[in-house]
Amino acid sequence: MSEPVETPLESLEYRTEVKQLLDILAHSLYTDREIFLRELISNASDALNRIQFEMLTNHEVVDPDAELAIHIEVDDEAKVITLRDSGIGMNRDEMVENLGTIAHSGARTFLEKAGEGKSTQEEIIGQFGVGFYSVFMVAEDVVVTSRSYRPQDDAAQWESKGDSRFSLAAAEKRDRGTEIRIKLKEDAAEFASTWRMESIVKKHSDYVSFPIYVKGTEGEAKVANRRTALWRQSPSKVEAGEYDDFYKQLTFDDQDPLLHIHMVADAPANVRSILYVPTRRERGSLRMRPDHGLRLYSRKILIQEHNKDLLPEYMRFVEGVVDSEDLPLNVSRETVQSNPVTRQLRKALTGRLLKDLKNLAEQDADKYGAFWTEFGVFVKEGITADFANRESLQELLRFRSTRSGADEWVTVKQYVERMKPDQAAIYFILGDSLKSAARSPHLDYFRKHDIEVLYLTDFIDGYMASQLREIEGKPLQNVDDANLELPKDEAAETPEANQAGQEAFDQLVTRARAVLGERVRDVREGKTLVDSPARLVSPDDGFERDMQYVRRILEEDYVAPAKILELNRSHPIVVNLANLLSSNAESSLVNPAVEQLFDNLQLLDGAYQGSVADMVVRIQQLMAAALEK
């Protein structure tokens, strides 16, 4: 069907990055080499999708009536596999551009990670694919012959042995599309088998929507894939295993999804959709794919591969397919966004997803817990961004609290139900981790009075709290608020005898102000402290204060505004320090002790910015004094 014509062969060198990639692939010991076929079929399928889309509006193409299909031919004797598609094709320049540089995002990630150790590399080859070049894991020589759909373009041929060069020549090819002839390496001869090809197609490309014919040198071509558009079937006809298989082939994820949602509706907009929540947010050590988005079809024709308008941004962890007959077939990829149908679909899909997540939470707490652990931050992001759905999103929130166990989640509703009769607010504490938050001196009072406090330890929590302000009519209140109004409990007042005397305590306050200077806004007695000697409270209004946690992470040299230092007049450290100061104002221990009290609080807050070396010197000075006694 294709034979090179007599024109001078042109030899070109790959870009450096491709050379690096090829070098790694050629020497790769990757065991799942069969995924090369998945990559080539996926390219053929892309090319077919593109010509199908093109022909919606343009009939001036080569071979307008050709069947949209993929053919795989195996020559067992010659150890040659040939893949043919009737897709959009490539002219000479497109071949240089597409097969001489790195187009595939997986390949780029692969190169970036190449130095970082084998396991990541293997994960990328398998779970993300490295695109066309993966063929060189099995090929000794590859010849690509292609004819573009544009009638005026000539056919061309590209050839490479996977070393540093490729060659180009004109070619004689009359029919539209691309043919890839693969001469297998000796150690990959096993792939020259129709049976093997069929089983790889089933495993990785069963749901490709175009027929994939497989044939040997003799015998009939057989369609090897099932081609079902699963989303267009009635949910009652689809088995759970089919949903899982489809997910894996769609995403290359090797784990089953956590949840699938098959949505079939005709009003307000026609929609056939399968949405998936993956089990993990990051596959292996990899971040979520940068090219997230849903596959958008109209009547089984792929309109857009990574549509980002069908769900709000914070639902970017969702994978799947959406097909709507209400989208006009001539909709361009650019106008999808502004099409009113897109807006209707987005509303319907978002609503359905939230509803199904709520059902999951009610019906399967363990599974929901797994969802929450992986994707809770996205729900929180949603709360800050999606005002229309805020109530539904709030119901999805889960927290750890001073009362929950380490693997128990608290809902807002549960919290509100067990609030004390006179409790005015929902209390929370911000922290870097559960452990440090749990140690916080701010909790003294709440522990003593058995008032539950929510731990907010996600990066986004401070921002969420500052946006939310209240839930179910109850104000959200940070326990480090300087003006926290707490019921005073007379009974629990410590008897005078255990407290630092007023005069000595006042002296200590004055000294602490002098020692800490600008680093504190003020020093005063703390009335809510029980077991802790001191705490730092924020004088700022809620928004600023809760945002400090976010800013500290985002802004490298962010310095949080100074706070108020509260001292516990009944704590032995404070009592002894006050007494030491009043008996010996010159004592060399007072200032280091004040400094250390202050630094301890910053450490607990995860906000210590001072020098560790200085602190060690100071701790040793205090230890020496303690041991001397």
Q: Which of residues 130-169 bind Mg ion (CB under 5 A)?
A: 131
Q: What token pair was written down for 95?
A: 């071949």
Q: How many residues bind ligand ADP (CB under 6 A)?
A: 17
Does residue 466 bind ligand ADP (CB under 6 A)? Answer: no
Q: Which does 307 bind (CB under 5 to 8 A by kind): Mg ion, ligand ADP, none?
A: none
Does residue 88 bind ligand ADP (CB under 6 A)? Answer: yes
Q: How far is the CB of 98 from Mg ion (least distance, A)?
A: 10
Q: Which does 85 bind (CB under 5 to 8 A by kind): ligand ADP, Mg ion, none?
A: ligand ADP
Does residue 96 bind ligand ADP (CB under 6 A)? Answer: no
Q: What token pair was written down for 189?
A: 């001869």
Sheet of 426-430, strand order: 400-401, 453-456, 426-430, 474-478, 470-471
Q: How far is the CB of 129 from Mg ion (least distance, A)?
A: 7
- Give the range of 36-44, 379-387, 416-424, 501-509 binding Mg ion by CB under 5 A: 36-44
Does residue 49 bind Mg ion (CB under 5 A)? Answer: no
Q: Please give the full DSSP string across 483-495, using - where no structure is assigned.
A: T------STTPPP
The angle subtended at Cα 70 by Cα 69 and Cα 72, nearest 5°, is 145
Q: Which residue is nearest to ligand ADP (CB)?
A: 131
Q: Which of 43, 205, 273, 528 binds Mg ion (CB under 5 A)?
A: 43
Nearer to ligand ADP (CB atom), residue 36 or residue 505: 36
The angle subtended at Cα 123 by Cα 118 and Cα 128, nearest 5°, is 135
Q: Which of 21, 25, 35, 47 binds ligand ADP (CB under 6 A)?
A: 47
Nearer to ligand ADP (CB atom), residue 33 or residue 104: 104
Q: Which of 2, 91, 98, 402 binds ligand ADP (CB under 6 A)?
A: 98
Q: What secondary structure letter does DSSP report for 561?
A: P
Report whether 486 contacts 459 (CB < 8 A): no
Q: How far is the CB of 43 from Mg ion (least distance, A)?
A: 4
Report whether 47 contacts 85 (CB < 8 A): yes
Q: Which does 516 bind (CB under 5 to 8 A by kind): Mg ion, ligand ADP, none?
A: none
Half-sphere exposure of 457 (CA within 13 A, CB side): 20
Q: How far is the CB of 27 from ligand ADP (least distance, A)?
A: 19
Does residue 179 bind ligand ADP (CB under 6 A)? Answer: no
Q: Given CA atoms 335, 338, 339, 344 in this order, what sign does their dihedral have?
A: positive
Q: How many residues bind Mg ion (CB under 5 A)?
A: 2
H helix intervals, 224-321:
240-251
Report whether 567 contacts 575 (CB < 8 A): no
Does residue 103 bind ligand ADP (CB under 6 A)? Answer: yes
Cα 551 from Cα 573, distance rounded (Å): 33
Query: What x-and-dash track marks residues 89-128 binding Mg ion by CB under 5 A?
Result: ----------------------------------------
Euclidean distance between the first and the last CA atom of the chain, given in angstroms as a whole number: 98
Q: Which of residues 115-144 bind ligand ADP (CB under 6 A)?
A: 131-132
User: How many angstroms from the chain centroid is the CA of residue 243?
Assistant: 22
How do 80-85 and 70-75 pair as beta strands? antiparallel
Q: Report the interface residues with Mg ion, using CB under 5 A.
A: 43, 131
